[in-house]
Chain A
């Protein structure tokens, strides 16, 4: 493509984007002169440049919108949404033509008449008959912008003249500032114009001829006019007079400036010129009044003439004069933003190439370093170190060139939101924060569409109409907040709206319709879980397909796109309050730090970012791989982590074949996928390396276990593992293995959702399946029966240097007589006990919903777990059995506060937790009232109940814990009651949020000790304060 055209396209596209944004700003702040000037300048530049390149369609459209903008600027028209809409429409047309240009290098066919008519109509203040046509006439083949594109003799005189009659040249913004009479091009309705009165084309042609002939021969003025070719001069005068008489001052100024291209043309010279012109007017027998008017017109161009002269370099002769004027004009119109140019435009391809080369260089450098390292003390060491240093700096530099502010991806959003607001008759404010946050260009490109889609979604489905909003007691204009910031090597982007939120019941209905879930499954889900169905493939939330959304792109595509670049997306939505999406994406895709590991003598890389910690499990070390039935687990700081063997996942197997002994010296990479943590067992761990991630060949793209491949320092190729994929693939890799069932369990473990609990299943007594929440179990032991002794009528065993009492699980008739006895170890403070069971069955992830509450001691109730009835045991009961003083110790532990009779309100939607905590709190001396949803708690408040302390779950259907806390703390009788949050999530972030909402403390579920401590502490604090 023509370089010039190419440059024009890039520049214009940028300008248009800016205008888009600025116009929306203008609409909100119609009196902002600065914004208006900026828009005007940009549109003007576009128009000017199209004229220069001979693009009539573009120019006529740009011109018409410039007219309107000019009137805005001069205050002749007020900025109204409808006018802005039409101007935006014209920008869209310009974009359309531009894209046609880009594709074919030709202006596409099309009729801009109606659009220009509309624009002109607005320019005329909305009078329909003023809608002018000429600007869109098809014969506007060439609209020369005098003094710019022209070279002597290039354009035929008549054509030039005609063009001038029909369309004014581009405005000169300097002059337009003084008195911007941006007159509609073909305003033919004004019958009494000077142009007609003077006699039209014919007279002007004569006058131009006379002036052109006489002036160069003029004693004093000659030198100013002789530099130009005769024909051209005549054309210019013709253009000058035409535009003058047609009141198009801008065009006249332009032409005048180009005529007077020699320095030294001052006021005196202009007076002489005016006199000469008046003489000519007389000569052609203009009527007196016409003559006077014409003479006055001349005054209008005085400044332009002087300016034209002043600005031209002294050396100009002949054609250079015209060219110089062209440059000058371009300089004024073209480089609108007067920033000193410290930057240059570089093609993206070049940058990509550079990046690739730097990547190669990094790899080669690594290779060299390795070679040098092997041979100590050789002459290459120093130069290679220098090379290494330089390479690193180069790499950083090139990476920087790829960084772009995220605002670039947002540039189009104000326009989109604005258009939507107008279309949908809503009031929407877009608040963009952190636009300067930089991220890799590649990531930026990939994130652009999902972001746009989500903002569009928020505006379309999220924000309600003003009437609805007011009815709900919200301000009539909705707000969409876009927020971007850095957080630990990631970029977080939040899209938040204060709209209607996502209606869980609607989603539920839809999920059912689409067969994504069954009724029963849905019953078990929390509102948040149901809401997350919007991320499911084939799910579109739009109740009705509007022109805005319903394009077949749903949130599932957004999710896929974000996950493709290693990002995650999360959503929280409160019905009636709004929705927040949070996207977490890596800063760059190109170079990452990775841990090199080995499995079956093959090396693999795991991105550092997904490695939480590294644990060595060996005999005699603190950590050791335990087995629950056949499922390997790792106990790490009192948490049981499910494990996957990389060997097995990758199909090398040897897997369990290695047995428990061989597996005893393994490295475990603790990794996190979503909220779930698990361990990957590998044979060996090497060092970390900076690697350049290269995508795998497309034919392998379905192997989700790899996120890419790379070349290591030693030149070998290595595959990069994707922990997400590992979690997903855990089952398929061992198809046909005898432990398929167990793998299924593993997958269930890995695809854990936040509402289900890990449960340890065991058998005690004939056909009696029992379960205990896994987090309560401290350890699993197989104890040799011989070692179990009797003491004081009780079974004890020496365990870790102390005596541990063993209690028989209910249903167990006695300990085994020989071999080993399976024991669950529970620990509470200083108390450790063993629960003897017949057999440990399995670990499952399930919703432990207690169906039948049991009155039997030692049992909380029965639940359906793994489709079988299972008794859930009460650990507290057994602890009390094992230690007579355990209950007492509870009292002692909590004696910091008078806990007896302390009234505690527990709000938790899960019957399991309510049943779990009830005995626990009761034995601790609290008197407990349980409710299963937030509203019930509020009802209690209304009824006048009082409590010493409130414990609330966070994730609850309907009103969640945060909201409840907010309401409670705001006012009412419970405002001072200590409030403790109980949640399965206990990251610092959640903690922060909890505190912000008004919780006095934030406790992880299952952490009984912390809960009890917190309770007594809170009560004490409260009492002290009271």
Chain B
């Protein structure tokens, strides 16, 4: 939970953008896994995988955000988070460092931010030379849920 010191965030990159997820929300960081695809599922659902006996639904974040497949190939990394009691693994390009950031320095999403990012970002931190967008899992999966139903 939020301490006076601030939050620790696991950072990752997707299509060049630096993203962060609170470290406590992250259950696992996975390298590429054997994934069973789910025919008929929305494109951004990569499939399901077995994580130590738990079935985890893999979300292709590139698809989810509307980016095409990775240009240079490379292996996907995944970050496992829990949403409404179910584990989801978010496939991203690369996992970075863990940063400790002060709560006070978090800012609202700037209006100039790419609409796609704004939709899934809870807020941003200004780092040296770039912005760290804090990924709102609720919005990534919640709105996705709505999208399937629609």
- Tell me the A residues contacting B by CB distance below 8 Å: 360, 363-364, 602, 650-652, 694, 696-700, 702-703, 705-706, 709-711, 715-719, 729, 733
Q: Are A698 and B55 in contact (CB under 8 A)?
A: no
Known: A697-B88, A699-B145, A700-B57. A651 touches B40 (CB 8 A): yes
Bound-complex Cα distance A703 to B145 (A): 12
Q: Are A733 and B40 in contact (CB under 8 A)?
A: yes
Which one, A700, A715, A719, contacts B50 given CB within 8 A?
A715
Q: Are A717 and B148 in contact (CB under 8 A)?
A: no
Q: Are B41 and A716 in contact (CB under 8 A)?
A: no
Q: Are A697 and B57 in contact (CB under 8 A)?
A: yes
With most chain A CB atoms within 10 A of its CB, the pick from B37, B38, B141 is B38
Residues of A close to B141: CB separation below 8 A? 699
Bound-complex Cα distance A733 to B88 (A): 26
Pairs across A and B, CB under 8 Å, 9 listed: A602-B39, A650-B39, A651-B39, A700-B38, A700-B57, A702-B148, A702-B149, A703-B41, A717-B55
Tell me the smallest distance from the CB of B34 to a CB of chain A, in Å.
7
Residues of B close to A364: CB separation below 8 A? 53
Bound-complex Cα distance A710 to B50 (A): 9
Bound-complex Cα distance A363 to B86 (A): 20
Q: Are A650 and B86 in contact (CB under 8 A)?
A: no
Tell me the total A-B contact number using a CB cutoff of 8 A: 64
Query: Which B residue's beta carbon lies closest to that of A646?
Result: B39
Q: Are B34 and A716 in contact (CB under 8 A)?
A: yes
With most chain A CB atoms within 10 A of its CB, the pick from B34, B50, B84, B141 is B50
Tell me the smallest distance from the CB of B64 to a CB of chain A, in Å.
11
Tell me the smallest distance from the CB of B31 to a CB of chain A, in Å.
16
Bound-complex Cα distance A651 to B41 (A): 10
Q: Are A699 and B57 in contact (CB under 8 A)?
A: yes
Residues of B close to A717: CB separation below 8 A? 36, 47-50, 55
Whether, in the assembled complex, B18 has its beta carbon less than 8 Å from a beta carbon of chain A, the answer is no
Q: Are B55 and A703 in contact (CB under 8 A)?
A: no
Bound-complex Cα distance A697 to B49 (A): 12
Bound-complex Cα distance A326 to B47 (A): 62
Query: Which B residue's beta carbon lies closest to that of A704?
Result: B40
Q: Are B86 and A698 in contact (CB under 8 A)?
A: yes
Tell me the smallest distance from the CB of B17 to a CB of chain A, in Å.
23
Residues of A close to B38: CB separation below 8 A? 700, 703, 706, 719
Bound-complex Cα distance A602 to B47 (A): 12
Whether, in the assembled complex, B90 has its beta carbon less than 8 Å from a beta carbon of chain A, the answer is no
Whether, in the assembled complex, B30 has its beta carbon less than 8 Å from a beta carbon of chain A, the answer is no
Residues of B close to A729: CB separation below 8 A? 40
Bound-complex Cα distance A706 to B55 (A): 15
Which one, A363, A698, A705, A719, contacts B48 given CB within 8 A?
A719
Which one, B53, B86, B149, contacts A360 given CB within 8 A?
B53
Whether, in the assembled complex, B25 has its beta carbon less than 8 Å from a beta carbon of chain A, the answer is no
Bound-complex Cα distance A376 to B3 (A): 57
Residues of B close to A699: CB separation below 8 A? 45, 57, 88, 141, 144-145, 148
Bound-complex Cα distance A326 to B131 (A): 69
Q: Are B40 and A709 in contact (CB under 8 A)?
A: no
Tell me the smallest distance from the CB of B84 to a CB of chain A, in Å.
6
Tell me the smallest distance from the CB of A224 to a CB of chain B, in Å.
60
Of residues 3 through 53 on chain B, the ones whose CB sits less than 8 Å from some CB of chain A are 34, 36-41, 45, 47-50, 53
Which one, A702, A709, A733, contacts B55 given CB within 8 A?
A709
Q: Are A650 and B57 in contact (CB under 8 A)?
A: no
Q: Are A703 and B144 in contact (CB under 8 A)?
A: no
Residues of A close to B47: CB separation below 8 A? 717
Q: Are A718 and B36 in contact (CB under 8 A)?
A: yes
Residues of B close to A360: CB separation below 8 A? 53
Q: Are B84 and A694 in contact (CB under 8 A)?
A: no
Residues of A close to B39: CB separation below 8 A? 602, 650-652, 719
User: Which 10 residue pairs of A and B lie closest in terms of their CB atoms, listed nearest first?
Assistant: A650-B39, A697-B57, A717-B36, A717-B48, A360-B53, A699-B145, A697-B86, A717-B50, A702-B148, A711-B50
With most chain A CB atoms within 10 A of its CB, the pick from B40, B41, B50, B145 is B40
Known: A706-B38, A717-B55, A719-B38. A698 touches B84 (CB 8 A): yes
Q: Are B145 and A716 in contact (CB under 8 A)?
A: no
Query: Which B residue's beta carbon lies closest to that of A718?
Result: B36
Bound-complex Cα distance A700 to B45 (A): 9
Bound-complex Cα distance A588 to B8 (A): 44
Tell me the smallest distance from the CB of B89 to a CB of chain A, in Å.
11
Contact with A along B44-84 (1 / 0, CB 8 A): 01011110010101000000000000000000000000001
Query: Which B residue's beta carbon lies closest to that of A359?
Result: B53
